[in-house]
Structure formats: C-alpha cells, structure tokens
Amino acid sequence: MSARLKLGAQLLALACVAGLLALLVWKLTHQHDAPKVGSQAPSFTLNRLEGTGKISLASLRGDGIVLNFWASWCGPCKGEAAVLQREWTQYHDRGVIFIGVDYHDLSSDAQRFVAAHRLTFPMLEDGSGSVTTGRYGVSKVPETYVIDRNGTIVAHLAGPITAPAFAAQFRAALKKVA
C-alpha cells in the first residue's frame, strides 16, 4: 500500500473515532437531569390542551407557579387531581397560578380527564415530552414543581402531592410563594 493511501486510511480512521467521541460528548452534555431546588425553572412555551393558543413560563414571571406534570393514563394523577383543584381554588386569587402539563398522552383522553375531574386551571400539552423529559427530566408522572415569583424553584415533588412525604412539603411551598 502506498504511503499516501496508508496516510489517507489512517486519517479516515481518526476522523471516525473523533466523530464517535464527539457524539458521546454531545450525548453526555445534553442529558437533562431534573432542575434543582434553588435554580431557575427552565423556560418553555407549550400549546394549550384545548388548542386555543400557547402559554410560556416567562409570561407568568411575577406570580407563584405550581407546575404539575401529569397524563390521563397515570393512576396516581387521578388521585391528586382533586387536591390540585382544591388548592387552585384556594390560591389562585393569592397570586399563585397552577399549570398542568399533560405529557405523552392522547389529547382526546387528556381532555376527557380534565372534564371528568373538573379541573379549571390552565392545561398545556406536551405530547412529545420535549419539555417534560427534555427540560424538567421527568421520568414518571405525576411530578410537581413549585416556582416562586422570581422564577426560582422552591420545591420539587417527584410523586403525587397526596403522598404523605409530599403533602406537607407542598403546602409549605404554596405558602412560601403565595
């Protein structure tokens, strides 16, 4: 094999290895873990579940926010729906906005869920999960974030808010952001 051909083959092999390494680095740096309490809540814009416009998190700056990730196929989500609705009616005129993000779900089933549980707070849809898993690192629903008026996360409840471990924490966080 001529020296030039050999050099070309070696450069090609090096380029392949470099490409694979770049892919590995990209994958590692683009993995999204759940944002930590005390950090800024990742921004997003999502369509409303009813299909009437969009809501962006940035537009809600200045209000306390309860961000609840759910899906109609999720059993524990049914259990916490009534609690969320009750807290929403109690807190929405105290400067706290509840936002539901429906993820990996059929819109029609999600709308039935909202109607069946008589949920009146704004609902957004994230069918692809780009915000839910991509920005908030949610792997199992339900999960709830409580965000203060400056956009800082004050509580992250990775499970139903009705769970004994989270109920008191949720109420404390609500009082903090109200």
Partner 1 sequence: MIARLLAVIAAALVLAAPAAAAACTQPRTSLSFLEGQVMCPTCHTTLDMSNSPAARQIEGFIRVKIAKCWTAQRIETALVKNYGKAILAAPPDSGFDILAWWLPIAGVLGGAFILAFGVWRWSRGREGDEPPDAAGPRLDDETERRLDELLAGLD
CB nearer partner 1, residue 1 or residue 28: 1
Select from 84-92, 113-121, 125-133, 144-152 the region that touches partner 1 (CB under 8 A).
Answer: 125-133
Which of 64, 129, 142, 160 contacts partner 1 by CB under 8 A? 129
Which one of residues 127, 137, 151, 159 is an interface residue with partner 1 (CB under 8 A)? 127
Find the part of the chain contacting partner 1 (CB under 8 A) among 20-28, 72-80, 82-90, 151-159: 72-80
| Pair type for strands 96-103 and 123-126 | parallel
CB of 35 or CB of 134, closer to partner 1: 134
Q: How many residues at the interface with partner 1, by CB under 8 A?
A: 16
Q: Which is nearer to partner 1, 126 or 148 (CB)?
A: 126
49: burial class by Cβ within 10 Å (0-12, 13-18, 19+)? buried
| Cβ-based nearer residue to partner 1, 6 or 171 | 6
Among 43, 59, 90, 128, binds partner 1 (CB under 8 A): 128
Cβ atoms of 45 and 56 within 8 Å: the answer is yes
Does the CA dihedral 74-103-93-145 come out positive or negative? positive
Among 58, 62, 89, 109, binds partner 1 (CB under 8 A): 109
Identify which of residues 59 and 130 has a Cβ nearer to partner 1 in the complex.
130
Q: Which residues bind partner 1 (CB under 8 A)?
A: 1, 9, 71-75, 104-107, 109, 127-130
